Chains A and B, each alone.
Chain A
């Protein structure tokens, strides 16, 4: 049973465009929702994270939107750049438990 569903599986965006990746979760006890970025041959690195007490968090060009009632959260990358080309993972957990990762989205930003 997959507790965190991520879409799309792959995404191609023009340079300067907006990249949007969506995730949906099932466990209402989850209270931490991070996004990780992974470049080829590297380990995942935390990009941005949100807790359910806020509906949006922005860090530079990266924004998480969170909809608690719909049990969905999304990553928006504004002004997408070729250097943003990577695999993005959403994840979720509740305190003291393992992170459950989505299946990943491969983003390609064309110049």
Chain B
């Protein structure tokens, strides 16, 4: 059973398009996250939701909009995609916000052409 799953695994699209990445966790966790990993493997938090409420919103362009329909799902919608958005996006979850172990999904590799 996959604990944290993401779809799609690969996403190739043209500049200017709008795309979404979906994330689901079956761990019963209250907190979910989106991270961006750039080409140099640097991992940076983008957003965090606790029980469907946004609790962390780092300096991310407002073209990125997270949506949490329930505490098991956290989707990421990206408008007007730019070349610099190309990266691997990871969803993660933890039992509580903050310092508990975070379980990461397999990642979605986004390539903007």
Contact = CB atoms under 8 A, between A and B. Distances in A.
- The number of chain A residues touching the other chain, given as a range, is 20 to 34
A98 B104 contact: no
B99 A95 contact: yes
B105 interface: yes
Contacts of B98: 32, 93-97
- Residue of B42, B43, B48 ringed by the most chain A CB atoms within 10 A: B43
A20 interface: no
A99 B107 contact: no
Interface in B68-101: 90, 92, 97-99, 101
A45 interface: yes
- Residue of B40, B98, B99, B105 ringed by the most chain A CB atoms within 10 A: B99
A101 B43 CA distance: 6
B15 interface: no
Nearest to A101: B43
Nearest to A33: B99
Contacts of B110: none
A22 to B, nearest CB: 17
- Residue of A34, A42, A96 ringed by the most chain B CB atoms within 10 A: A96
B90 A43 contact: yes
Contacts of B33: 98
Contacts of A104: 41-43
A38 B104 CA distance: 10
Interface in A9-48: 31-32, 34, 38, 41-46
Given A45-B103, A95-B98, 10 more contacts: A32-B98, A41-B107, A43-B105, A46-B103, A89-B43, A97-B56, A97-B98, A98-B56, A99-B102, A103-B41
12 contacts: A32-B98, A42-B106, A43-B4, A43-B92, A46-B103, A89-B43, A95-B99, A96-B55, A98-B58, A101-B43, A101-B44, A103-B40
Interface of B: 4, 33, 40-45, 48, 55-56, 58, 90, 92, 97-99, 101-107
Interface of A: 31-32, 34, 38, 41-46, 49, 87, 89, 93-101, 103-104, 106
